Structure 1
């Protein structure tokens, strides 16, 4: 049984109405699909570990590794993960590179070199800047944390293949250039994260 607490990303009819108004194509898909729930991890450290595990692998693989980690280690806290070896973390099914990153980040936070709580007071761009200093954390991982833990409202990640695929499917595009992507993202603003939740769902339909 998993030990990490989860909840749904909070949004409602007001946000759905807004997106349906600014983008009728997305709006039609939303009307067809109804409310799509996105499970998030409120604890920042656990969410960061989950995002690192999720880099470049399928959702199914992430689920398996994440279950194993919770069964193996119980508490997903910086102090608890800092005393594990990278070898032990790696045995849950991830690459050694990811295991080393998780271990190093746990130590950095446990030793007080980074205070995750301070991120709540920072704007999105600053959160990304602070997180990408950590080894193994790129912009995509930081953006996943912004949506999947901090519930920031306006994140649409160019680095996310599924979001790009969802966009292409939604608008019937064979290719998607960054400029087009930016235009769609601006259209969804300030509720890009809710649009992202639908784009993920559309990409896997």
Structure 2
């Protein structure tokens, strides 16, 4: 399953932002996989923090091979030492065990979280050990399919903005201006900003402005 969007979102963004519209036309439709199971998505994102995508998938595959279906009961049945043996840190293993226990005993109600507003979801997920604002925002995109998420804490999105609009820096004020411009389809804009940051359009990648020394402080 991929993040779903279509002509409505594309036409809106193209009308609102000419430069982004040109990128959309150049790149075409972006297919980004999503995991609609909120529990497994949280586990997957905790595993992936501060490691490469390849390493994340290796650890995830080992966990899946061990438990089969990644659910609260299955994860609770695995000891922290064994989780660590899959290639994650002991701290991450602790976060995963804590989250699974909270879901199993009803302290964290994933069905209720799914019904909350974006801001409320961030607040609720951020109360879970091992999940910060950025991770909560990624979960909202890649599991909850929320349509209007643009993360200020995502370095690739900020880089994509710098490259696309030729800015040396993207501060909070400038970021908010773009985020509001993309709304209510910020998530689709995020997909294209990630693509730009990844070099999808070579001539844009070659022209990214360099930060001044004082900007890097």
Whether the TM-score (by the shorter chain) exceeds 0.5 is: yes
Q: Is 1:125 aligned to residue 119 of structure 2?
A: yes
Residue 74 of structure 1 corresponds to 68
Query: How many aligned positions are there?
Result: 199
Give deviations 1:74-103, integer Å, cap 9, x for gaps. Answer: 110011101111111122212111111011
Partner residue of 2:2 out of 3, 8, 31: 8
Residue 166 of structure 2 corresponds to 172
After TM superposition, the runs of 4+ consecutive aligned structure 1 residues lying more than 3 A away are none
Partner residue of 1:148 out of 138, 142, 148: 142
Q: Structure 2 unaligned runs (5+)?
A: 200-217
Residue 109 of structure 2 corresponds to 115
SS at match of 1:99: helix
Question: How far does residue 73 in structure 1 lie from its aligned partner after superposition?
Answer: 2.3
Q: Is 1:192 aligned to residue 186 of structure 2?
A: yes
Distance 1:191 1:76 in 2: 31
Partner residue of 2:46 out of 52, 58, 67: 52
Give deviations 1:78-136, integer Å, cap 9, x for gaps. Answer: 11101111111122212111111011100110111111011121111111111111111
Q: Structure 1 unaligned runs (5+)?
A: 1-6
Distance 1:160 1:87 in 2: 31
Distance 1:59 1:174 in 2: 28
SS at match of 2:150: coil
Distance 2:16 2:108 in 1: 39
Residue 86 of structure 1 corresponds to 80
Larger Rg over CA atoms: 2
CA RMSD of aligned residues (A): 1.2
- Scaled by the length of structure 2, the TM-score of the pair is 0.88
Distance 1:73 1:203 in 2: 36
Distance 1:128 1:75 in 2: 26
- Scaled by the length of structure 1, the TM-score of the pair is 0.93
Distance 2:86 2:153 in 1: 26
Distance 2:48 2:71 in 1: 18
